[in-house]
Structures are given as structure tokens and as C-alpha cells.
Amino acid sequence: MANRLQHETSPYLLQHADNPVDWYPWGEEALEAARTQDKPILLSIGYAACHWCHVMERESFENPDIAALMNQHFINIKVDREERPDLDTVYMAAAQMMTGQGGWPLTIFLMPDGKPFYAGTYFPPEDRSGMPGFPRVLLAVAEAYRNRRADLERAANDIQGHLTEHFRWSLPETAITPALLNEAASGLARQFDEANGGFGGAPKFPPPMALEFLLRYRLRTGSDTALRIVELTLERMARGGIHDQVGGGFHRYAVDATWLVPHFEKMLYDNALLARLYTLTYQATGHPFYAATALDTIEYVLREMTSPDGGFYSTQDADSEGEEGKFYVWTPEELEAVLGPEQAPIVARYYGVHPGGNFEGKSILHVPEAPESVAAAFDLTIDELVEIIGPAREKLYAARAQRVWPGRDEKILTDWNGLMLRALAQAAIALGRSDLRDAAVRNATFLHTHLYRDGRLLHSYKDGEAKITGYLADYASLIAGLLALYEATFDVRWIAWARDLTDRAIADFWDNEGGAFFDTSADDAPLVARPKDAFDSATPSGNSLMAESLLRLGLLLGEDDYRQRAMTVLERFAALAAKAPTGFGQLLCAADLALAEAHEIALVGDPQVPAMAEMLAVVQQPYLPHQVVALRHPDQDGEDEVIPLLAGRTARDGQPTAYVCRNYACRQPVTTAHDLAAELGMAVE
């Protein structure tokens, strides 16, 4: 019989709906059952694309004997960490305090009031390799709860106290200075893997926010080292197995130091952050390789991760047919069956496919050598090689599509959609792609229609149902996306919505006593501790992203309160960010903007007129992270009421006109792209 999870919409929870475990979703029903039955809570947190979550389900949660132990001794709660990042943040912090490590599946035992007292991650079904079997753990915890209850209560109270202190972030405020950015850049350079790119060794995760900071640092200082770190890392990732060479997009991380063998799950947020970073690097360098990689990633999302009405799905699984990576790997024989005996050896050499393979007897496609050497080995020109590889890739994709696909988590999360919205809008601007702009508008419209209710955001949408009160990350990510969308469309409604969301975020999440933002709204059901996160880990923290958006909105709207709140966030965390830069990449980007002499650029005129299009190219094609751009249409009223920067700006002699301002003090208006470039200090011919 199906358990209580059958009524949920989360694909991860539904995967467990037929387990013999008497699972509850998180909620008052489960907590009340723990209190009335006086049982401890077994809380299991995971997500749909998690390989080891699937393993533990097969081994333990589908095992009737283990399920019977769970049902006898515990109230069992299953949580999708993507739906409830607040629970994941709090209880993962507790697990790390208790064990020194974390990960998913997260297995944590709670008192009936929700206070944690014991934690682990994956447990095998029997004792194995020094790990206790899950039945042994269950019986030991149940025995301790019966016979040593007072000890567990003391431990749980201690952990709760540590959690409260952990999220208080009792750090001294530090002035934001260029020296802090120098310290952070030096720290990243020391951790840089000179051979393979990225930071540190295996496992190796893409570091998009730290690399974006280095891209900004290079612009600030002219540092060749910063640019070398960015370019080598992006090149190695794009050529590695972490990049799906056939279908596009990036897998979650590499288990090795060389980016070859990925953990095969694909996450929307990784692809959003990386697509944007490759776009920015194209703007900074002009190298078409980065533009091509950005487009390859975006096209993957639009093709495989987009709902019919414009929302973006969350993840694709690592497994298919019960095997990790099976969907993605190839043998020489499989290549020949698709491509024929003449082209298969060329494509195999290009993608590193060989007998015996590099992953469990098969080959993960990657680009292990320079295309020039592959072309030379087959007496081809580079153009001839490209003419072979491009069509071959399409054939391989079509053949792969006949395999059993990995599962897809089709819930739509506001925060991850906001990140993808920002990436799409940025690419539309940088690459001049109206189709990407249209996809971005469609996504923003979807979010406004389905995940915005009574002035507040909701977090998750699936099967026509939106639910869960929005978190700080939902507001921060969507506001950042709307700012980018405004500059891609100059449709003032997106700025109006961004301002409304910003004011709501301040009202619901701002910590008046400790400064910065909480992760959860003031009227959310209380947890054992109210989380406040500042780490930029797999995704930017709500505090980091809000800080930059507050600075940018402050520039556009002339709101000094926004800037002051951003500075409060930055001054609270900046010293720690300088010492641990890999964990604060987005915060460092915001600090860079706070220190910049940013330009506010007000344009007046029809963006379709060639002279205005030329001006837009000046301010949108290069990498210019220290500016905001607003545009006043000649035939629209009310734009200056939303964006005060546009107030009083008029066309000069009826021509498209640009005003370059700092702190709302504007220089003389100009009417040509040449003069606009000169005003911005660019080299002009």
C-alpha cells in the first residue's frame, strides 16, 4: 500500500510513496504523531537526482524487515531538500557539527520537538567496510531513546544552542576595501590547480562564482593570473567529461581532478551559473569558444529542461536502468554502428573513445587533445574535421535518444529559475539573440503567473500546484534575473516587479538586530533554529545575491536605503570571504561592485533605430559589470516614475541620446556611439 507520500507533488517524495516505510512528509501531522506516540523522528533528506539516495532506498527503504524496524521505533519523515532548503540547511549544519561531515542522503534522528541528537548520511543494509549497518543503527538509537532519554535531551539541547549561535554569525564588521579583494584573489591563486584548472583536487566541482570574481578582479587590476585561472578552468571543463559532449550542458561534478569522470546528474542551477559565466568570459575576451559553450548549455536547457509553458525543470538523474552514467557512455563498436567505419575512428579519436574505455569498460566522451592534432593524424584540415564532428554529434545524439533516459525531476523552483532567467537574459544581451530574450520573457511571465501570489513568492510548482512560502533565495535569484531581463528588454514592468520583491524581502527576511537576511520568512513555521546563510556553495546564498541586487537597484532607483543594507551584509561577511574565497564567490562579486565607480547610463530613444542600436552595442557587448543601463522610450509614459534615473532625460535635437552619470550626476549628453564610448573611457577609433 502507498504511504502518505502518495499525495505529494515532489518526484523525489513520490519515488518513496510505495516503500513499506510509513513515511510522512514534513508537517504538523508528523510532528504531532511523534509527540503523541512519544517516538523519536527519523528524518531522511535527499533529492531526485541523488545516486546514493537511490541506493539507500533500494537497499533499506524497500526492505520489509528494515522498514518494519523503522515503523516500530520511529516516526519517519522524508524531505526533498530542493523543496525544503530551510530544513536541509539547519539539519545539515547539525550533522556537520556532530560528525564533521555531511552529504545526501542525510539521515538524522530528532527528538519529538525536532531537536537533532544523532546523524549520518548513507548507511548500508548490513555492517560493511567499517560502517555500521542501518538495522544496527536503528536498534541502537531506539535503545538509547528508551533507556538514556535524559542524555539524548541534553545532547539535543546542546546542539540546538550551537545551531542558534552558528546562524547568528557573530562576526566583527569589516570595512570593504580593495585589500580584501586582493587577499581573496591571492587565496584563489594559491588553491588553483595549474595543470587541470579549478581549485584543489578530487572531487572537483565547477566554481562559477569564484571565477566570476576573478573575471572582475582582472578588470579591476589587469591581473593576467586571474584571467589565466578563469580561462584554463573553463577550457578544461568544456573539454572534459563533466561537459556532456553530445547533449550539451554540464554534470554536477567530477570525481577526479581532471574533469573526466562526472557524477552524472545534471542540475538546472549548475547549467544556469555556467552558461552565464561562459557568456561573461566571451564578453571579456571575445573568444568565440566561450560563446559556443554558453549557447550549447542554454540550448540543452531549452531542449530538455523546459516545460511547455516556459518554466525550467530542476534535475536529470545520474542513473538509468539502475546504473550510473549508462545513458552517456560509448564503446568504439557503438560509434561505428552509428557513424560507419570511415568516420567512427576520427570521432573516436576526437572524443577519446577506445577499447576498454575510461569508465567501467566504456568511454565517457571528452576532448583529450587539441583538434589540430586530431586533424593532422587523419590528414584533415580543421575545417574538414569540424564538418565531420558537427554532424556526427547530431547522429550520436539521435542514437542516444533511443536509450532509456535518466529520470527528470519536473518540479519548477523559483530560485533556480531565477538563476536561469538571468543567464538567458545575459546571453540575449551579449550575443544579440532575440530568441533567448523571448525565452527569458516567457519564463518571467510563467513565474509571475504561477509562483507569485498576494505580493509574495512561492517556492515550488508542479502539476499545476504552487506551494511552500518563498525563501530568501527565491527573492534574491528572481530579483537578479529581473534586473538582467530589464536590460535585455527595457520593459519597465520587470523593474517594477523587482522593486516590489525587494521591498517584500526586506520586510520578511531582514534581521533588524543582527543585520543581513534570514533564509526564512518571519511568519514561516519556526524550526529549531532560524537559518541565515552566507556561503556561496553550489548556488549563491540569498545574502550574497541580495547584496549585489540591492546595489544595482540602488543605482537604478536612487534608493540609498538599498545600498546601506547591501553594505551591512558585505561588512558582516567580507573579512571571512577574503579568507575563504572559494565559499564566497558571489559575495566577493558584490563587494567588487560596492567598491567600483559605477556608471548609471540613461538612454533616450527607440532601441530599434540604428543609432540607438549602435549605442546599445557600446554598453552591452563588452564586459562591463560596473554599470546599470536604463532606457526611456519616446512613445511611452511613466517609465521615469518607476526609474528615477530616467527623470528629466530627453532626446537631444530629436536624436537618440545617452547620459553617463555617477551618483546621479550626469555629464553632457551625447548622441553618437563614438562619443558614448569616449564618455565611458573606452578606446575609440
Average pLDDT over all residues of the chain: 95
Q: What is the 3-state secondary structure (H, E, C) of 378-413?
A: CCCCHHHHHHHHHHHHHHHHHHHCCCCCCCEECCEE
Nine-digit cell at 135?
538495522
pLDDT at residue 662, as a whole number: 87
pLDDT at residue 666, as a whole number: 86
Query: Cα–Cα distance between 484 and 533 in angstroms, integer?
Result: 24
- Residue pLDDT, tens place only, 624-678: 999 999 999 998 889 999 999 999 899 998 899 999 998 878 889 999 999 999 9
Q: Which positions ≥6 away from 652 have C-beta within 8 Å? A: 669, 671
Distance of CA 685 to the CA centre of its chain: 40
- State the average pLDDT over residues 495-510: 98
Query: Cα–Cα distance between 123 and 142 in angstroms, integer?
Result: 16
- Indicate whether 137 pLDDT > 90: yes
- Indicate whether 510 pLDDT > 70: yes
Beta strand ranges found along 431-560 (DSSP E): 452-453, 456-462, 465-469
SS3 at position 421: helix
Query: Cα–Cα distance between 631 and 643 in angstroms, integer?
Result: 9
Beta bridge partners of 316: 266, 408
**What does residue 551 show for φ and ψ, rounded to 5 degrees?**
-65, -45
- State the average pLDDT over residues 49-71: 94
Beta strands 456-462 and 452-453 are antiparallel
- Indicate whether 173 pLDDT > 70: yes
Please count the helices (runs of H) and the strands (runs of E) in the chain: 25, 20
- Residue pLDDT, tens place only, 544-601: 999 999 999 999 999 999 999 999 999 999 999 999 999 999 999 999 999 998 999 9
- Residue pLDDT, tens place only, 238-286: 999 999 999 999 999 999 999 999 999 999 999 999 999 999 999 999 9
- Residue pLDDT, tens place only, 198-222: 999 999 999 999 999 999 999 999 9
Distance of CA 519 to the CA centre of its chain: 16
- State the average pLDDT over residues 38-48: 96
Query: Cα–Cα distance between 295 and 279 in angstroms, integer?
Result: 8
- What length is written for the chain? 685
pLDDT at residue 685, as a whole number: 59
- Residue pLDDT, tens place only, 358-386: 999 999 999 999 999 999 999 999 999 99
Query: Cα–Cα distance between 674 and 685 in angstroms, integer?
Result: 8
DSSP string, 58-100: IIIIT-HHHHHHHHHH-EEEEEETTT-HHHHHHHHHHHHHHHS
How sure is the predictor about 15, in pLDDT bands with cuts at 50, 70 and 90? very high
Going along the chain from its start, the domains and CATH numbers come out as: 4-166 (3.40.30.10), 178-320+409-595 (1.50.10.10), 328-402 (no CATH), 599-679 (3.40.30)
pLDDT at residue 514, as a whole number: 85
pLDDT at residue 684, as a whole number: 60
pLDDT at residue 168, as a whole number: 86
